[in-house]
């Protein structure tokens, strides 16, 4: 509420110094109490994000029978059981740039059983119907922004969904990495961090 900038800065620094003095005084008092108790003094526990995070009821625990039962009949169960091998179609938004087409070449090299088809002006619904007729299990649609940079990925699980949209950022193609290796025929490895909730578990199966 102080309108004068100089006065406002003075008050701020004064409050900051007083807060620092209070913290040092409290720290000295804790050290004094710990010295008085000796070995009986409780160990100081550093506050971190992990030990102060509230418990999340949606976290998936190992051996969760309910989650395992859902996984046995969800949209991705046929893939994980090996009954339906993955077959992916990769395409772009309408009239893609050369950079986005170069990215599509890398995606076809990266993903197993993957094919690229030029979209042109074909509506997305018509494209999904064509994928279903030809036995594709997933459809990836990459789009770009006005600056002709890859912006988003639409991941469609065929034939009945679900569909998810992901943001694409910090993209660097292999040809711009000095000393990059050559691609091999090995299947890519999917690394997921902090996907421990029910939603994260479902998204992880979708990406896999």
∠ CA 24-25-28, rounded to 5°: 85
Tell me how far apart the alpha carbons of residues 62 and 68 are, in angstroms, rounded to a whole number: 10
The domain ranges of the chain are 5-41, 65-176+190-207
In terms of Cα–Cα distance, which of 133, 114, 124, 92 is closest to 185?
A: 114
| Residue 65: C-alpha distances to residues 119, 146, 176, 186 (Å) | 43, 47, 46, 33
pLDDT number for residue 30? 83
Query: Cis before residue 159, ω within 30 degrees of 0?
Result: yes
For the range 107-116, what are the long-range contacts, defined as Cβ-Cβ under 8 Å and sequence gap of 24 or more? 107/140, 107/142, 109/183, 110/183, 110/188, 111/188, 112/86, 112/187, 112/188, 113/85, 113/86, 113/87, 113/88, 114/88, 114/89, 114/90, 115/87, 115/88, 115/89, 115/90, 116/89, 116/90, 116/91
pLDDT number for residue 157? 95
pLDDT of 89-147, one tens digit each?
999 998 899 989 999 998 998 888 999 999 888 999 999 999 999 999 999 999 999 88
Q: Left, alpha or beta for 179 (phi > 0: left; psi -120 to 50: alpha)?
A: left
* Mean pLDDT in residue range 1-14: 90
pLDDT of 174-195, one tens digit each?
888 888 888 788 888 888 888 8
pLDDT number for residue 204? 92
pLDDT number for residue 167? 94
Q: Report which DSSP code applies to 72.
A: T
**Confidence at 87, pLDDT banded by 50, 70, 90:** very high
Element (H or E) spanning 154, and its range? strand 150-157
The strand pair at 150-157 and 88-92 is best described as unpaired
In terms of Cα–Cα distance, which of 20, 42, 76, 43 is closest to 208?
A: 76
Tell me how far apart the alpha carbons of residues 98 and 91 are, in angstroms, rounded to a whole number: 13
Tell me how far apart the alpha carbons of residues 136 and 158 are, in angstroms, rounded to a whole number: 7
> Buried b vs exposed e over 126-150: b needs ≥16 C-beta within 10 Å?
ebbeebeeeebbbbbbbbbeeeeeb
- Tell me: pLDDT of 55 over 80: no
What is the residue-averaged pLDDT of the chain?
89
pLDDT number for residue 89? 96
pLDDT of 20-53, one tens digit each?
888 889 888 888 888 887 777 777 778 888 788 7
Lowest mean pLDDT among 72-76, 161-165, 187-191: 187-191
Rg (CA), the chain: 27
Determine the topology of domain 65-176+190-207 in CATH.
Rossmann fold (3.40.50)
Beta bridge partners of 92: 142
pLDDT number for residue 200? 92
């Amino acid at each position: 509420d102080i309108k004068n900038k100089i006065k406002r800065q003075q008050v701020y620094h004064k409050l900051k110094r007083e807060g620092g003095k209070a913290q040092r005084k409290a720290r000295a008092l804790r050290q004094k109490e710990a010295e008085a108790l000796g070995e009986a003094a409780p160990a100081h526990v550093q506050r971190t994000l992990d030990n102060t995070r509230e418990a999340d009821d949606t976290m998936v625990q190992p051996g969760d029978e309910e989650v395992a039962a859902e996984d046995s009949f969800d949209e991705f169960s046929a893939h994980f059981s090996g009954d339906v091998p993955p077959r992916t179609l990769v395409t772009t938004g309408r009239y893609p740039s050369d950079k986005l087409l170069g990215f599509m070449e890398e995606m076809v090299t990266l993903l197993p059983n993957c094919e690229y088809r030029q979209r042109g002006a074909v509506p997305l619904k018509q494209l999904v119907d064509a994928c279903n007729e030809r036995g594709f299990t997933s459809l990836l649609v990459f789009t770009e922004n006005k600056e002709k940079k890859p912006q988003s990925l639409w991941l469609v699980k065929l034939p009945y969904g679900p569909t998810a949209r992901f943001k694409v950022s910090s993209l660097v193609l292999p040809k711009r990495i000095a000393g990059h290796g050559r691609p091999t025929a090995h299947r890519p490895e999917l690394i997921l961090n902090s996907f421990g909730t029910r939603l994260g578990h479902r998204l992880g199966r979708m990406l896999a």
